[in-house]
Amino acid sequence: MKEYVLLIVGAALVNNVILARFLGLCSFMGVTTRIDTAIGMGMATTFVITVSSMADWAVEAYLLEPFGLGYLRTVTFILVIAAAVQFTEMTVKKVSPALFQMLGIYLPLITTNCAVLGVALLLVAGRMSFIASTLFAFASSIGYTLVMVIFAGLRERLALANVPRLFAGPPIGFIVASLLALAFMGFSGMSTN
């Protein structure tokens, strides 16, 4: 049990997918103008990362590794991710068309989010069990959502702040992002491997 807790803390905070591994920076800067949209994007990404990582683990364990097809890993994972996004889109549409109208806009953006592929490749490199890899993927995406929401909150406040014209817009956003990354470096002292 303790190893799973350490795995979750390590994936979500210490090795945060955005601020430590620098994945998913496009959505980090692009969809964080409001907290609501950041949560929407974060939740959708969490679902897709978790589902696609489960599928990636199965493909790796039952197809790529036994048949020595490791050289097809990246392209296969991209295919699995695209299928997971498509599955999610169809499911949301089936569950509630009204929800799809509201949330469907985020799903195509996730297909090209490198964090999804990055997490899948990391869990394969880590040679984890199925449950550990699922928890790793879930925790990584929770860390992604957490940082998105924190950064969106900061940007909402920045929009009201009196920023010098030279720094207004993206420049002050990048400065705040770097300060947030410095803050998250504080977690690197935790021994979670």
Partner 1 sequence: MRLPTDEVPAFSAPTMVEGFARVVAVEGGVAWLEPEQTSSCGSCASSSVCGAKGIGTAASRLAARRFRLDNHAGLVVGERVVVGIRENTLVKASLTAYAIPLAAMLGAGAVAQWAAGSDGITMAAMVAGLLPGLGIARLSAGLLSSRGDLSPRFLRRANVGVVCKIS
Give the range of 7-15, 74-82, 106-114, 179-187 binding partner 1 by CB under 8 A.
106-114
- Block residue for tokens 């591994």: 21
Where do we find the tokens 């592929």? Answer: 117
Among 16-24, 38-46, 64-72, 181-189, which window interacts with partner 1 (CB under 8 A)?
38-46
Q: What is the 3-state secondary structure (H, E, C) of 158-173?
A: HCCCCCCHHHCCHHHH
* 157 or 179: CB nearest partner 1: 157
Shorter beta-carbon distance to partner 1: residue 83 or 95? 95
- The smaller minimum CB distance to partner 1, of residues 164 and 189, is found at 164
Least distance (Å) between residue 191 CB and partner 1: 25
Cα separation values, 98 from 45, 72, 92, 95, 106, Å: 19, 38, 9, 9, 14
Name which of 126 and 169 has its Cβ closer to partner 1. Answer: 169
174 binds partner 1 (CB under 8 A): no
Tokens 């795995």 sit at which residue? 7
Q: Can you tell me whether residue 31 is helix, strand or coil?
A: coil
Cα distance between the two ends of the chain: 16
- Should residue 169 be labelled a site residue for partner 1 when binding is judged by CB under 8 A? yes
Q: Is 125 in the site for partner 1 (CB under 8 A)?
A: no
Burial of 189 (0-12, 13-18, 19+ CB in 10 A): exposed
Near partner 1 by CB under 8 A: residue from 72, 73, 112, 121: 112
Interatomic CA distance for residues 14 and 132, integer angstroms: 17
Closer residue to partner 1, CB minimum distance, 5 or 185: 5
**Residue ranges in contact with partner 1 by CB under 8 A:** 30-31, 33-37, 39-40, 42-44, 46-47, 50, 54, 58, 61, 91-92, 95-96, 98-106, 108-109, 112, 129-131, 134, 138, 156-157, 160-166, 169-170
